[in-house]
Structure 1
């Protein structure tokens, strides 16, 4: 009798283990390959990126306007940055990210057919915490502060963790969108960002931050590709003068850049896609 009970108990425990095991595995935190690469010894490459390297597929990045870029992944996921619904091209995105600085950077009423809506701000004074995988892209955020505007209290004061830098990891590429950045980044921010191959940088010099400040950040990130945004207020040659001779410049007549890990420029390059 006792032996029978022991066998039954073992069977129940085995069944529970089989049910709990997969659930526990699914709850494991997602891992950033870009952070792993940034923290690894020189020449080290994570195993999953070695697999990607064997099949270097293009990511298409299209400048739609203002601070909105569409990112189309090899797996067919479409992402729109700083989405407000006004800057559109082609089909609806599958994922939208937003920063709340102005109505040109977010909408509280996105098309309900967009399945993934990611806010760069949290609720009740908390920082946004984004760490999610959609198809072949892993998306995370690094919170930043934002200035208050009229109607939000004292104009010019800062709201802690009010916005985010979004980072998209796909096909072995680390793509960052600085959003409506209002202040310099410290070592903690740079450590949380990790490695970036492509970075989208606001260059208006007024509504976000000074050209000196954003140029300093751009030089420290030293991404292979710099994609300017907020281009309406600043002569591009002034931005280029500030970031120095270490960056090449490539002005194109098309709105879409197709790039893979293997086709990144050897020299850090500012690529100006068509558009305003």
Structure 2
């Protein structure tokens, strides 16, 4: 009798595993957790983790990019130049829209006399870790354009690295301090930062696993900087994804890749055309 019950029970379990879910339950399977990254021109990004928390990097109000006000829970500023440090472009979505200073991470401090110094940051916010690596804005140890901080944000099991206005290739010590990288935001436009060829060298130094997001380069209507062509030269075409119609990149947090993909985002999400008037 015991054997019969075991056999019957096992058969029921097997049949249960083969029966498709009831139609009313379909679509309720747990969705894969994703991360979304949005670009707002120059070096201004918003990273949204799988829980909906938003991190804004290097906010600006450059007219050519539409002066976008962006929702964020935390702001990250790599250095105190106006095209990277306009916290007023951040909206918390709360009654008091201004972001508390405790939620603003500034990698470089500056006195009224213009003296700069790095602020060493290594802080946990819940399960997220935010830290800095000291670098320069030029090849002259900051004598020309000052200091710059690389920010490394560890969230959702991924490592997001924003290089700010990096002005030189990295030292071995800086590469070691940054560590492994999944998504890399790298300036490529030259003039005020590394150029395309130097950016290629930095990518080889850091070896990002999933994505490379070029930033701080010239676009139509804002051509103070060189475009991304020099950086893209030599990158295999199957490893380049151009998304001019959107500023968003969404991907599962458990994504796998044999080599990183270079993603060129548009600086704003294209709005659908208006509906034709009713006759």
Q: How high is the TM-score relative to the length of structure 2?
A: 0.67
CA gap 1:108/1:169 in 2 versus in 1, 3 angstroms = closer
Match of 2:120 in 1: 129
Runs of 5+ consecutive residues of structure 2 not aligned to the other structure: 1-30, 91-96, 219-224, 269-279
Match of 1:209 in 2: 194
| 2:241 aligns with one of 240, 250, 258 | 250
The higher radius of gyration belongs to 2
* Alpha-carbon contact 1:202-1:228 (below 8 Å) kept: yes
Q: 1 or 2 for the larger relative contact order (CA 8 Å, sep ≥6)?
A: 1
Match of 1:75 in 2: 51
Q: How high is the TM-score relative to the length of structure 1?
A: 0.68
Pairwise CA distance, 1:131: 1.6
| 2:35 aligns with one of 53, 59, 73 | 59
Match of 2:175 in 1: 190
User: Which has a greater percent of helix?
Assistant: 1
CA gap 1:137/1:130 in 2 versus in 1, 3 angstroms = same
Match of 1:157 in 2: 144
| 1:146 aligns with one of 133, 137, 154 | 137
Q: 2: distance between equivalents of 1:275 and 1:110?
A: 15
Pairwise CA distance, 1:254: 1.9
Residue 141 of structure 1 aligns to a residue in which SS?
A: strand
Residue 118 of structure 1 aligns to a residue in which SS?
A: strand
Verify: 1:103 aligned to 2:82, yes or no.
yes
Match of 1:174 in 2: 159
* Alpha-carbon contact 1:64-1:89 (below 8 Å) kept: no
Q: 2: distance between equivalents of 1:202 and 1:146?
A: 11
Residue 206 of structure 1 aligns to a residue in which SS?
A: coil
Q: 2: distance between equivalents of 1:229 and 1:101?
A: 18
CA gap 1:108/1:225 in 2 versus in 1, 3 angstroms = closer
Count of aligned residue pairs for this structure pair: 214
1:7-30 per-residue CA deviation (whole Å, 9 max, x = no partner) reads xxxxxxxxxxxxxxxxxxxxxxxx
Q: 1: distance between equivalents of 2:137 and 2:227?
A: 25
Q: 2: distance between equivalents of 1:59 and 1:136?
A: 15
* Alpha-carbon contact 1:247-1:268 (below 8 Å) kept: no
Match of 1:40 in 2: none
Q: 2: distance between equivalents of 1:219 and 1:101?
A: 28
Match of 2:229 in 1: 237
Runs of 5+ consecutive residues of structure 1 not aligned to the other structure: 1-54, 149-154
Q: 2: distance between equivalents of 1:89 and 1:103?
A: 15
Q: 1: distance between equivalents of 2:251 and 2:51?
A: 14
Q: 2: distance between equivalents of 1:211 and 1:84?
A: 22
Pairwise CA distance, 1:188: 0.3
Pairwise CA distance, 1:64: 1.3
